[in-house]
Amino acid sequence: MPGATVGTRVDRRGRSAAAAHRPNADSTMHYNLVAISEIYRACPYRAVTIACMARISPPELARELGELLRSLRRAQNLTMTQVAHRTGVSAAKLSRIETATFRPQRDVVEAVLAVYGADEETRRHCVALTDGALAEPWWAPYKAVLPGRFAALETAAVRICTWQPLLLPGLVQTPDYTRAVFAAAGSPPQVTELAVTARQMRQRVQLSGPDALRLRMVLWEPLLRRRILPSPLWAAQLSALAECASRPNLSVRVLPERPHGHPGLEGGFSVLELPHDRRVVHTEGGPAESIIDTIPSVAEFDRRYRWLEAHALPTGESAVLIAKIAREIRC
């Protein structure tokens, strides 16, 4: 197929299948190429071209590039100092490219690949990763209402487990619900509408397609009964939530209101599972984002989520309860 990139598609779970993609310059969705580092640990010279859509974020592409370059360097038994001497690029810059703390430059990547004796397929793949890492991410137009670090992590996530006692997750909000939330916070109309557009884009990017994000939610029952919208709009939001719950990649469970405490009283949080067995936590509260990545803290939030999910209603009973509340609102 002329003009196509042929290779292997890898989904969020790391599964691969033969695929071909023809770039579309008019598309609003960025198409990038991403490497899976395990492939190169097993065979560092075998470059596999992988066609992915906007869910692969530029920071994640930079990370994949860095891991691949490190694999190639180690396969040649070269130190960073030796590579710096042969390329004229400082060892500090080379190190930052391998650790994805510096945006890669095509000329630097090509110079390094020449030292490693990379074949043409590997070179093309690394250049594609470099271009993808430098591309504008899909969330760039919405940075005023969507923190970039969180957007990058959410886009790269394989699975998200979220506990929400106060507000519905943004990935399942209707436009009217988002407007009500931002209006209650006193946001100007233009900011509110930008937030609505951003959340609709998040939903399209994250929840659509064959490798859609796996999202598990535990919602507190009082949240579902707290009307922040007129009754018809609130019932429509609950119906949309019920529709989301019917998708195979989404799980919605309701934690009944209890007379005693539980581990989620401090506020909402999300445990994001990333490629290569990495996990981080995003906590709610206030206008500033909070990302936690220390292993003991992540383990503690994971423990809390597991408790909340274990004590929530099963998915079937949760769906029945959501439908019951929606009917009560319509009456």
- What's the rounded mean pLDDT across residues 287-308? 91
> Residue 222 has what pLDDT?
95
Question: Mind listing the pLDDT tens digit for each residue in 218-238?
Answer: 999 999 999 899 999 999 999
Question: Is it the case that residue 26 has pLDDT exceeding 50?
Answer: no
- Among 14-18, 109-113, 133-137, which stretch is predicted with the lowest mean pLDDT? 14-18
Q: What are phi and psi of 280, to 5 degrees?
A: -135, 165
* Percent of the chain with pLDDT strictly greater than 90: 58
Question: Is it the case that residue 101 has pLDDT exceeding 80?
Answer: yes
Determine the CATH number of domain 147-169+205-330.
3.30.870.10
> Residue 55 has what pLDDT?
55
b/e code 185-201 from CB counts within 10 Å (16+ = b): eebeeeebbbbbebbeb
Question: Is it the case that residue 180 has pLDDT exceeding 90?
Answer: yes
* Gap between the Cα atoms of 163 and 219, Å rounded: 6
| Yes or no: domain 5-134 corresponds to CATH 1.10.10.10 | no
Query: At how many degrees (to 10) do helices 80-87 and 106-116 cross?
Result: 110
Question: Mind listing the pLDDT tens digit for each residue in 264-282?
Answer: 999 999 999 998 788 999 9
> pTM of this prediction?
0.70
- What's the rounded mean pLDDT across residues 93-114? 91
> Residue 42 has what pLDDT?
34
Residues 6+ apart with CB under 8 A from 138: 29, 30, 54, 155, 201, 205
Question: Is it the case that residue 153 has pLDDT exceeding 80?
Answer: yes
Q: Report which of residues 253 and 38 the model is more confident about.
A: 253
Whether 147-169+205-330 and 5-134 are alike in CATH topology: the answer is no
- What's the rounded mean pLDDT across residues 182-210? 93
Whole-number mean pLDDT of the chain? 81
Strands 214-220 and 250-255 come out as parallel
Segment holding 252, helix H or strand E: strand 250-255
Q: 152 is written with which tokens?
A: 């990058």
CA atoms in the 13 A half-sphere facing the CB of 106:
9
Tell me the domain boundaries of the chain.
5-134, 147-169+205-330
